[in-house]
Amino acid sequence: MQLEKKRLMEAAREYYEMGFNIVLVNGKQPLHEWKQWQTQRQTLEEFENLPWDKADGYGVVCGYAPQNGLYLTVVDYDVKNTSSEAQAKGREALKHMRITRIEQTPSGGQHWVYLSNKKPRSISAYHDIAALELIGEGKIAIMAPSKGYRRLNDNPPTPVYDVESMFLDALRAVGVKTANRNAATTEAKFWFDREDLVGRPYKGPMPPCIKKISQGTSQGQRNQYGIILASYFANFKRLKPKRVKQLMEEWNRLNKPPLDQKELDNIIKSAIEHGYVYGCLNPILHSLCDRENCVIAAKIMDRLITPEERERAEQLLKDPKLLEYVVKFGRKRLIGEDRALIINFVNICSGQTKYPISCIIDGFSGSGKNESLRAIKPLIPKEWLFEFTTSTPEAIKYLPSDFSGTLLIYEVAGMESKTGTLGLRAIGEGESIITIYPLRDEVTGRMELGRAETNAKNFITTESDLDIHPDLYRRVFRYSMNHSKALTKRVIAKKLRDAQLPESLKKILENGSNGIPYSEADFQNALRINNWKAEVILFPPPQLLRLVDMAVTREMEVALRTHIEKILNFVRVLALINQKRRVRLRIGENSYVVASPEDFVVALEVLKPVIMETITRLGKRQAEVLQLFEKYDTLDKHKVAELLKVSTVTAAKSLKSLAKAGYLKEDTSTKPYSYKRLQEKANHLVILENTSEYCLYWRKRLEDFLNTTLSSCHLRGISVEVSGQEYAAAPLPPLCFIPQNRQGDKVQSTAKPSSSNGTEQKQLVFSELIRCLRSKFTKGTEEDFVDLAVKQGITEDEAQNLFKKLVDEGRIGRDPQGYWRWI
């Protein structure tokens, strides 16, 4: 017996003389206090006066480094409390670690002993997955020849610069998903990294990670789970010690086996006395994280993204086809409404910026209003949205107090609210929205108005009857869905085609190939990590002043004063979405993005119907005048005045405004002027006719701005960083969507083809088109073919007819995967 004690003391002295602090144990339980030796050197007297007579083993304190700066750390391979699958994965992971001193544990597992230049953490999050733990800071590592421990080789501990990185790399090499080490090495200052929750007891729902811990655990994790849970109750929820003990005893009964009462009391005492704080990047909490269903994690989702997820998100933000992918994704559920898809996507993103934009989507029931939101919703982080219907406006009561994003308010066809109309008004410019909703008093049964102040920055609604206060309405777009017969035919045709194959068979044939190289999760992560707090610098095209000349009435001219700000905000948000491919400035502590000509071109094309409705919408009298042309080919002011029983002055003004908007053709050769109908809708809106000219103007403005800013800041001693200048000279890319012309939007052409060679020229153009499509269209859907054909200069109807003709002639057919190919 004395011989064993002597061997134990000699082995411990070896580590002591290397500069490490020693702790004596009996059955793995420390025989004395040792926490002080995590930060200070153990004296020789303290070492020799340890209770050697009661010890059957010793351990080394892993959180203290001797003068050489090398921390002792141990990789623990556990075969007792783990599954065979985890053990197999652990054995494979060990093959990726450097050979070192290896010791066998009492359970038949192994300790791999290392020396690390970087201070290692203790990590047990991968115990159940790979049967491996890292024993580091705050732990003691029991060493051979302690009872049940023996050395398996004669190697000394191997020095490794960063053992923790080696440990995590080995896990990743065998397919284990690990936490973001760079972020996780930062000790948490606030519970769940939420500074905004400091200073008051937490009263919200239990986070999913804590809920999993509260369900009990097995031997090997009880202490770590216990200290986190006790700290959560005592330090985050701030419960009284008596209640903490009661809850912890209930938890302990779920453990297999339970901790003894003394050990449980020590855990509770430690949690209360030390006030431990745990963040979301704690290895245990991170391994149990269910961030999509956690109300606490919503504010810090960008910090919970793994390095692999972040890399793909960054790649997407730099992809010039980002908005094109949004459109392609949305077309899976809604076709012919590319503008609506982009408007909804941009407006939702605006809720995270200083430029919030709200929107009302008009349309008949069944026109796809609600679907235009649902089509792109999977791409949006869940924590950005709060949804409810106009039939249940009181649902706003359940909006989380810390919500900051976009309200989605759906119209429910065939249902009316039992309580009344939802009202919305703004507090400040882009700060938050108050909802005013009717509710029934549970005592008196009377209807009352409830108010809920939210942190929501904007809203999108498919209900046009909302009571929107004027101070908020000026920040609202109104977009009308496409009701044209052409789109109706296209939608029905698609449904007929889609009906050929069941959904399950389509998924098998498509094999996940949809032309979008990114997943829904990639989009969500990209939006989370994007810098939405940056401000935007604009060099607007002077041609925007043409909008005033195009307005039909004085009222519409005045409306442009506020409408122009909404258009500019739309451009700003587009610039923020694409900021990885824009000129960016860092001036002092502030970040800026310069909107490019592409942002203006896309915004004006996407918002074309919205702008047209603002500057050319018909008043009641104009609509009555236009309706007369359904019976009469030609009218003048006297005839209109007679038919509508109005003055000739009123009739003349209405006819003039309709001619100005492009609805009527004015014949000035007659007295009085006569008018004929041209079309059902206003002329096609063209603002930037010469984009090349605007690009030159923009580059000159940018050059002048940078020269002025750089010199001014330099003289004042303010630091300036400019990046992304290579994008300033980039040519304009093609539009990210195919503009869907609405019925009557086209201006009738007066050009006539030459009679001599018109047919021959048409045939030549057609053959060139087919040759071009053969080289560019390899396989895809009908929509892919039509989009490509439209880009070659033909109309959408012509492209659809061409596709049908080629199918009928047998020149295009389906392959085994269900795609269309040339035959």
Question: Is 464 a residue whose pLDDT tops 70?
Answer: no
Question: Per-residue pLDDT averaged across 660-673, rounded?
Answer: 84
Contacts of the segment 657-664: beta carbons below 8 A, 24+ positions apart: 657/552, 657/553, 657/622, 658/618, 658/622, 658/625, 658/626, 660/552, 661/552, 661/616, 662/616, 662/747, 663/626, 664/626, 664/629
Strand order in the sheet with 720-723: 535-537, 590-594, 584-587, 720-723
Predicted confidence at residue 719, as pLDDT, reads 85
342 within 8 A of 737, measured Cβ to Cβ: yes
In tens, the pLDDT along 185-223 reads 335 677 887 777 777 888 888 888 999 999 998 877 788
In tens, the pLDDT along 739-766 reads 654 433 333 333 333 333 444 334 445 6
Predicted confidence at residue 758, as pLDDT, reads 41
pLDDT-based confidence at residue 417 (cuts at 50, 70, 90)? very low
Predicted confidence at residue 58, as pLDDT, reads 95
Q: Pick 640 or 546 by higher pLDDT.
A: 640
- CATH entry 1.10.10 includes domain 760-822: yes
Q: Which of 81, 8, 104 is nearest to 51 (CA)?
A: 8
Question: Is 20 a residue whose pLDDT tops 60?
Answer: yes
Q: Which of 277, 288, 273 is nearest to 191 (CA)?
A: 277
Asked if the bond preceding 502 is cis, omega within 30° of 0, the reply is no
Phi, psi angles (nearest 5°) of residue 392? -135, 60
Residues 58, 76: Cα–Cα separation, whole Å: 16
Q: Pick 763 or 234 by higher pLDDT.
A: 234
171 within 8 A of 158, measured Cβ to Cβ: no
pTM for the complete prediction? 0.60
Predicted confidence at residue 418, as pLDDT, reads 42
Residues 698, 571: Cα–Cα separation, whole Å: 14
Predicted confidence at residue 177, as pLDDT, reads 77
481 within 8 A of 361, measured Cβ to Cβ: yes
Question: Is 589 a residue whose pLDDT tops 50?
Answer: yes
Residues 436, 468: Cα–Cα separation, whole Å: 10
User: Please, which residues have CB within 8 angstroms of residue 662's CB and are 6 or more apart in sequence?
Assistant: 616, 678, 679, 682, 683, 747
pLDDT-based confidence at residue 233 (cuts at 50, 70, 90)? very high
Predicted confidence at residue 823, as pLDDT, reads 77
Question: Per-residue pLDDT averaged across 721-746, rounded?
Answer: 68
Predicted confidence at residue 459, as pLDDT, reads 84
Sign of CA dihedral 310, 311, 312, 313: positive
Residues 591, 457: Cα–Cα separation, whole Å: 21
User: Please, which residues have CB within 8 angstroms of residue 256's CB and are 6 or more apart in sequence?
Assistant: 216, 217, 218, 219
Question: Is 453 a residue whose pLDDT tops 70?
Answer: no
Q: What are the residue boundaries of the structural domains of the chain, listed by start? A: 2-178, 191-304, 311-482, 575-595+607-748, 760-822
In tens, the pLDDT along 268-319 reads 988 888 788 888 777 788 778 887 778 777 666 666 677 788 889 999 999 9
Other beta carbons less than 10 A from residue 222's beta carbon: 21
Taking the domain 575-595+607-748, which CATH number applies? Answer: 1.10.10.10
DSSP 3-state assignment of 359? strand
610 within 8 A of 617, measured Cβ to Cβ: no
145 within 8 A of 191, measured Cβ to Cβ: no
Question: Is 770 a residue whose pLDDT tops 90?
Answer: no
Q: Which of 590, 594, 564 is nearest to 579 (CA)?
A: 594
Question: Per-residue pLDDT averaged across 163-173, rounded?
Answer: 89
Residues 124, 131: Cα–Cα separation, whole Å: 9
Residues 386, 76: Cα–Cα separation, whole Å: 46
Question: Do the domains 311-482 and 760-822 sit in the same CATH topology, yes or no?
Answer: no
Q: Pick 820 or 91 by higher pLDDT.
A: 91
The CATH class that applies to domain 311-482 reads: alpha beta
Predicted confidence at residue 187, as pLDDT, reads 53
Predicted confidence at residue 388, as pLDDT, reads 75
Q: Pick 394 or 793 by higher pLDDT.
A: 793
Question: Is 638 a residue whose pLDDT tops 90?
Answer: yes
Predicted confidence at residue 618, as pLDDT, reads 64
615 within 8 A of 552, measured Cβ to Cβ: yes
Question: Per-residue pLDDT averaged across 665-682, rounded?
Answer: 80
Residues 811, 806: Cα–Cα separation, whole Å: 5
